[in-house]
Amino acid sequence: MIRGWKYFFAVILSLFTAFSVVFGCELIKKISNHNAYLEQGISPLSKEASARFYFSMALQLASDGSLNEAKECLEKAIVLDPDSAYLHFKFAEFYSMESDLDSAISQAQIAVNLDPTWTEPYFFIIEAYMLSRKPEMAEPIAKKLLELASDDPMACRELSRVYEIEGKTDMAVDVLRNFLAQRQDQLLLRKELARLLIRTGRELEAEKAYQELLDYAPGDTEVWAEYASLEVSRGNFQEARRAYQEELNLAPGNVQDRIELVKVLLKLGLREEAHKELLSAQAYSGQNTEPYLFSGYLYLQENNLDRAEEEYLKALAINPDSEQIFYNLGLIEASRKNWEQARNWFSRIKPGSKIYADAQTRIIMLEYDRGNKQDAIEQAKKLIEAHPGKKEPYLILIEIYEKDGNYDGAIETVNQALSHIPQDPDLFYTLAIIYSFQGNIQKSLEFANVALNKKPDDPAILNFIAYTWVEQKTNLDQAEKYLNRALEIDPENGAIIDSMGWLYFQKGDYQEALKWIKRAQEKIPDDPEILLHLGQIYLKLGNRKKSASLLEQALTLKPRPLLKKQIQELMKQAGFKIKIEGGK
């Protein structure tokens, strides 16, 4: 508690009333101009009354931003009343405003010495030590505070946090549990315990703590949301779904958590239900465009360009200056091969924007797709010169070189990018992909592992390494672990699903392989590599007609040179006539 606030204001009021004739209200504002007059007026007062007067002036000056003058007045007040713990504590607060934490702690310690039972200076000293990164100095103060205020949950929480920052996590947990053993009604501390258990990696204990919390406070939406988030991190998506639904029954207008529920539904493969939840989010969204953007993103994933466009245009009506929406509409028009409309959308993104370089790379690819290859290359090089520290311009030039089979040019561009952005995992991953296109498996895996070390939970990199192993028929058990990990993170990714199917193929389980790769084709219907895999499976299952049809279809999709060669060799081995020569 802050001792003496009501008392202090009562004294100030009486002081001003008693001496209103001598010291009008304007005196405080004019102190710097009438200092001598004030000294004459104050001199007849008692020391205590004079100290209060100087203190009132200090507060006024501090509120006006004149901290140095405020400190001078407070120093005079302390000279007149040196045993006032409250005045010393206020001086500590003034020092903290100047970020002079050492002086602040010294003044607060004086306040503690003058009034050892007043708890507020203890809290202040603890926080100051924590800000100074001296938790070991805060620990004895926090212990003393809890001794003084053994029933105060805030004192308990303070000691627990000190222990946590010191790395004494077991002691941090024990302090909270010991307090709660006596006071089960402390909702705030029960939440603190659950959160601490999460922060310290004790997820099973945290889960139990949250379940007990929900039994105690089933109407607390914050607890439901935190419990749901915990279950997501543990991969318990069904339980996370239930928790978010319980929360949203209590607070249906929470748009952000409804979107979190959508993400969980997608993890469970429940896309239709996800779309319904997004409609509910939109109904509550007001001027929030996120539900529309997310809905547009889902439709883009499903290759439903018309519905995606509808969602983005709704978002644009709410926020007509959103460059992210311009960008997404540009992607849609590019997918439709409406080059000019796509260019118009991308061109609306201004040079100062975070996505400007990315938009420019899209414009460059429009030029390439229209057949203006050399113009696209020149534009990409100019963009690299203008933005040497951004990876997007490099990646677009690399993509152009890859499509043309110029792998040496692609590798040279990656190395140029790494000279400016040396730690970027995506660049190492790109290098791995290029070497795989060249058939250099050793170098490909070498750079893929560098990328994975920098980005250990990237599903694309996990999938790349696993698929490479599967292709080589090596490390199949480890490959399966990587693929399961990747699918936990991105369960709807067609490329990862294809890799899992190919793993079953290499193990000789062709029926299971067929299930997985048919799912992959549903996600990515025009991928020549997936069609190649399906063709191989049907060939193994004795359905030659289906196999030949799929392989012919794969050739029409302009596969990269190495993949094209694989398809043609398989067709020759199977005795299939190559009716269509796809690719370049």
| Within-domain flag for 420 | yes
262: tokens are 């959508």
Using alpha carbons, select from 247, 182, 187 the residue that is nearest to residue 212. Answer: 187
* Integer Cα distance of 515 and 546 in angstroms: 15
Residue 45: pLDDT band with limits 50, 70, 90: low
Q: What is the DSSP letter of 524?
A: S
Does 414 reside within a domain? yes
CA distance 214 to 223: 7
- Residue 428 included in any domain: yes
Name which of 27-31, 72-76, 493-497 the model is least confident about.
27-31
The one-letter amino acid at 531: L
At residue 580, the pLDDT reads 52
Q: How confident is the model at residue 13 (pLDDT cuts 50, 70, 90)?
A: very low
pLDDT in tens, 320-334: 999 999 999 999 999
Q: How buried is residue 240: exposed, middle or buried, by Cβ count under 10 Å (0-12/13-18/19+)?
A: buried
DSSP state of 312: H
pLDDT recorded at residue 46: 73
Q: Percent of the chain scored above 90 by pLDDT?
A: 74
Residues 335, 160: Cα–Cα separation, whole Å = 55
Alpha carbon 495 to its chain centroid, in Å, reads 25
Residue 531 pLDDT level (bands cut at 50, 70, 90): very high
Does residue 388 contact residue 421 with C-beta atoms inside 8 Å? no
Q: What is the CATH number of the domain that holds 393?
A: 1.25.40.10
The answer to the question of residue 554 being in a domain is no
Q: What is the mean pLDDT of the chain?
A: 89
CA 425, CA 423: separation in Å to the nearest integer? 6
Domain hosting residue 420, numbered range? 351-456
- Looking at residue 65, its pLDDT comes to 84
Report if residue 430 sits inside a domain: yes
| pLDDT tens digits for range 345-377 | 999 999 989 999 889 999 999 999 888 999 999
**Residue position matching structure tokens 């922060």:** 199
Structure tokens at 528: 């020549």
Residue 377 counted as domain residue: yes
pLDDT tens digit string along 156-185? Answer: 999 999 999 999 999 999 999 999 998 878
Whole-model pTM? 0.69
Q: Comparing 72-86, 165-179, 202-216, 437-451, which segment has the lowest mean pLDDT?
A: 72-86
Can you give the C-alpha Rg of the chain in angstroms? 34
Which position has the higher pLDDT, 4 or 199? 199
Length of the chain: 584
**Residue 360 domain-assigned (yes or no):** yes
**Confidence check: pLDDT of 378 > 60:** yes
Interatomic CA distance for residues 270 and 288, integer angstroms: 24
In a domain? residue 379:
yes
**121, 129, 127, 175: which is closest to 153 by C-alpha?**
175
How many independent structural domains does the chain possess? 1
Cα separation of 539 and 66, whole Å?
A: 86
Name which residue leads in pLDDT, 560 or 344.
Answer: 344
Query: Counting beta carbons within 10 angstroms of the beta carbon of residue 92, is it exposed (0 to 12), middle (13 to 18) or buried (19 or more)?
Result: buried
